[in-house]
Chains A and B, each alone.
Chain A
Amino acid sequence: MLLSEVGYARPATLEQALGLLAEHSGARALAGGQTLINVMKARAASPDVLVDLNGIPELKGIELRPDGTLEIGPMTTYTELIGSPEARARPILGEVCAQIADVQVRNRGTIGGNVCSSDPTNHLPPLMVAIGAELTVTGVDGERTVRAEDFFLGVYLTAAGPGELLTKITIPAGRSDGFASVPIGRDGTCIVNAAASANGELRVALGCVAAVPELVRPSSNNADAVRDAVRAKALQPPADVHASADYRRHLAEVVAARAVEQASKRAGE
């Protein structure tokens, strides 16, 4: 399909990218393009300028600090993360990325793109919230760090505002995590998903049931306690051709309990 006319620039540094975004108010960052290009075909987004982030080495790569903290460059692809020995320090990351779409999309799609598109059906927003990730947002005036639970503001809306870029994802050490979903076909779009982390306090984040991930803190890892905590949230999930609101509410309890079970099992290992 022919896209609407668009300008293109491929900066080599973060500074250049921020300068281009500041200079062109209708500019958007192009990460892996596995969402944005399709959205542009459908004319659901019509940026004047695309600032291609694929030529900026400082936005790529995974570092494991001595204390077990992971620092992930947002332009790291799913495939790179899945294959990264460093990323195995938090195994759930690679496990979840391996469930996203297909080989071609995983080869090109990026961690930062998944997070910043803030599509309620994406895999990584609930995972980031559950495992307590911190997101570094950089603009021309400097950088700030935002907790994942404060980063997602709405459908397609995050704390990385116009002219800003997500520049680093920091993930604390931990191994006792779980993820469960009911997707449309294997590795397809999620109908409901849940990520759980049992490293210290128990945190569960639900996806696809609201505009942003819903953080639930069950009192124990007992399946009934988890289901009660989800029910207490009185979720108002969307209804569509794949699931009614009632069915999504039911699935939310089911996948939350499954994710917690996986996380708890690992905590006992």
Chain B
Amino acid sequence: MEAPAVELSKTITVEVNGVSYEREVEARRLLIHLIRDDLDLTGSHIGCDTGNCGACSVILDGTLVKSCMLLAVQVDGASIETVEGLAQEDELSPLQQAFSDHHGLQCGYCTPGMLMSGAALLRENPRPSDEEIARAIQGNICRCTGYWNIFKAIKAASGQEVEA
């Protein structure tokens, strides 16, 4: 079988929040730029652009990843969920509602990434321990809240009791 050709750009098909898109992308394009600039889904943020802050976190084929550390060409044929996919019509997801109820955000910049990390955790582990919640958001940096309210929101969304 012959090796595939080396390409500087490529037409890819990707499903994002249940909608299928076809785009031609340069090989050097990061996934976050495809999502934000080409698909105009600006919920996912770019914080550090070095893989530290987690504001660009999305769920790729069921797995939480930082979209600034993947190339757009790598998601050809894949299915992606971004923060825009969490709410149903005008109704927030239980996790989003819990962030609102527990003041899990102030400036909101980290929130899309925090929500995706929380969503990924609760799917895999519907009743996480305190330690598991803390470790699940280890890859997401928040400079406002001190993390406690985010922690509480995720815990409350899992149906566990939290202090007010």
Chain A residues in contact with chain B, CB under 8 A? Answer: 1-13, 16-17, 19-20, 23-24, 30, 33-34, 37-38, 41, 49-50, 52, 54, 79, 101-105, 107-108, 186-187
Contacts and interface: CB of A to CB of B under 8 A. Distances in A.
B65 A104 contact: yes
A183 B136 CA distance: 19
B54 interface: yes
Nearest to A20: B3
Given A9-B4, A16-B3, A105 B51 contact: yes
B49 A1 contact: yes
Top 3 A-B pairs, shortest CB-CB distance: A102-B139, A8-B27, A16-B3
B69 A16 contact: no
B71 A8 contact: yes
A103 B51 contact: no
Interface size of B as a range = 35 or more
A13 B4 CA distance: 10
Contacts of A105: 51, 66, 69, 139
B4 A11 contact: yes
Contacts of A101: 139
B139 A103 contact: yes
A12 B6 CA distance: 13
17 contacts: A3-B28, A5-B26, A7-B7, A7-B8, A8-B8, A9-B5, A11-B3, A12-B1, A12-B4, A16-B1, A20-B6, A34-B51, A52-B74, A79-B63, A101-B139, A103-B136, A104-B117
B138 A186 contact: yes
B51 A1 contact: no
Contacts of B121: 103
Contacts of A13: 1
Contact of B73 (A4, A8, A17): A8
Contacts of A4: 28
B103 interface: no
B4 A16 contact: yes
Contact of A5 (B3, B28, B30, B135): B28
A104 B54 contact: yes
